[in-house]
Amino acid sequence: MTADSQPTAETAVGAGPHEPVPGGVVPPSGRARGSVAAKAGNGLRSQLQRADATGRIALLVREPNGRPSTRAIAFWTWNAIIGWVVFLCLQLLWMLIADAWTNSLHLAGLAITVLVAIVHVSIMPRWRYRVHRWEITDDAVFVRSGWLTQETRVAPIARLQTVDSRRGFLHRIYGLTTVTVTTASSAGALSIHALDDAVAREVVARLAAVAQQTKGDAT
């Protein structure tokens, strides 16, 4: 091989945009570099948006500010009383059918039922009022509920499917409404219990407005 046929450094450096240089690397064109930079910028913006939403949701989990109505304590009290009265009536009916008025075991069971009912009615409504919290932001719905067993749920607004309100007989007496939010989650719906009727209407309107503005995957 002669010296004239050997490739020089100038030949390698001056290779065309689609000609391989030593090592087999094809340098990207200006358009390709711009496309890569644009994709990187979009990815960074998406990550920042997700981080911002996550930060707002995390802040919400720490300190929600919504409470049930103050009338919720009386509502839950009477709801519990009605349930215990029905249970005691069934227990008394069984004792009547079985002719067990003198049976010490049945009488002890009746006494225990009355004692548990008194403790439950005295403690549960106030405890439940202290536990229950809720809040709605542009990003998520937060609900904390229960008393002995407590549950905390955060559902992204983008997953919202339906919003329902329920007013039973006792609800109407005390002017209360329970709002139920159905999301695309296997965990089931979220319920915001014992809201004032006016507050419940505002909650339903707010959720409908936020859901309409948010285009998410609600499937």
pTM for this prediction: 0.68
Under 8 Å between Cβ of 66 and 74: no
Q: What pLDDT, in 10s, does the model give residues 94-110?
A: 888 888 777 888 889 89
Q: What is the pLDDT of residue 8?
A: 44
Does the pLDDT at position 88 exceed 60? yes
DSSP one-letter code for 27:
P
d(CA 64, CA 62): 7
From the candidate CATH numbers 2.30.29.30, 3.20.20.70, 1.20.272.10, 3.40.109.10, the one assigned to the domain spanning 132-213: 2.30.29.30
Confidence of residue 199 (pLDDT cuts 50, 70, 90): very high
Q: What 8-state DSSP symbol labels residue 24?
A: S
